[in-house]
A and B are shown apart, each in its own frame.
Chain A
Amino acid sequence: MIFLRRQLPLLITFVAGVVFAAQYYVPHPTSELMLTEVTKWLQIISGFALVLGVTSLFHIHAVKIRRKEPGWAYSLILYGGILGTIAAGFSYSFTAGQWVNGKETINGIVTAFGWIYSDMMVPLQGTMFAILAFFIASAAYRSFRARSREAALLLIAAIIVMMGRVPLGEMLLPVSGDVTQWILNVLNAAVRRAILIGISLGAVALSLKIIFGMERAYLGGGKE
Chain B
Amino acid sequence: MTFAERMLHIDRRIIFLVIGVCTLLPLLYPVGLAIKVSPEVRGVHDYIESLPEGSVFLLSMDFDPASKPELQPQAVALLRHAFKKNLRVIGMTLWVTGTGLADLVVSQAAQEMGKVNGKDYVFLGWSPGVGSLIITMGQDLYKAFPSDYNNQPTRELAVLKGIQTLRDVNYVVSLAAGTAGIESWYVYGKDKYKFELGGGCTGVIAPGLYPLLRSGQINGLIGGLRGAAEYETLIGQKGRAVAGMDAQSATHVAIIMLVILCNVFYLLIRTSRGQSGQPRG
Contact = CB atoms under 8 A, between A and B. Distances in A.
A90 to B, nearest CB: 16
Given A36-B136, A104-B103, A167-B36, A128 B263 contact: no
Contact of B101 (A122, A170, A193): A122
- Kindly list the 6 A-B residue pairs having the minimum CB-CB distance in the complex, ordered from nearest: A168-B249, A42-B132, A167-B33, A36-B139, A43-B129, A46-B128
Contact of A141 (B15, B34, B133, B252): B15
Contacts of B203: 165
A129 B204 CA distance: 12
A114 B104 CA distance: 11
A192 B15 contact: no
Nearest to B242: A167
A166 B245 contact: yes
A196 B211 contact: yes
Interface of A: 24, 32, 35-36, 39-40, 42-43, 46-47, 49-50, 104-105, 114, 117-118, 121-126, 128-130, 133-134, 136-138, 140-142, 144-146, 155, 158-159, 162-163, 165-172, 177, 181, 184-185, 188-189, 192-193, 196
A51 to B, nearest CB: 10
Given A42-B129, A145-B263, A196-B211, A137 B253 contact: no
Q: Give the bracket for the number of chain B residues in contact with chain A.
A: 35 or more
Interface string B185-204: 00000001000000000010
A162 B129 contact: no
Contacts, number: 170
A171 B31 CA distance: 13
B136 to A, nearest CB: 5
Of A39, A118, A172, most B-chain CB atoms within 10 Å: A39
B64 interface: yes
A138 B13 CA distance: 9
A184 B132 contact: no
A35 B140 CA distance: 10
A76 B214 CA distance: 49
Interface in B103-146: 103-104, 127-133, 135-136, 139-140, 143-144
Contacts of B143: 36, 40
Q: Which of B206, B248, B249 has the most CB of A within 10 A?
A: B249
Contact of A159 (B66, B140, B259): B259
Given A43-B144, A165-B203, A192-B210, A117 B100 contact: yes
B136 A40 contact: yes
A166 B140 contact: no
Nearest to B35: A167
Contact of B23 (A36, A133, A169): A133
Interface string B217-260: 00000001010000000000000000001101111111110111
B136 A168 contact: no
Given A39-B136, A168-B250, A130 B69 contact: yes
A42 B133 CA distance: 8
B16 A43 contact: no
A88 to B, nearest CB: 12
A46 B134 CA distance: 13
B19 A122 contact: no
A122 B18 contact: no
A177 B128 CA distance: 40
Contacts of A172: 253
A192 B217 CA distance: 14
Interface in B16-52: 16, 18-20, 23, 33-36, 38
Contacts of B36: 167, 170, 177
A43 B207 contact: no
Contacts of B140: 36
A43 B143 CA distance: 11
A165 B40 CA distance: 13
A39 B69 contact: no
Given A128-B66, A138-B15, A185-B210, A133 B251 contact: yes
Given A46-B128, A193-B214, 7 more contacts: A40-B143, A128-B66, A137-B19, A140-B259, A162-B252, A167-B33, A171-B33
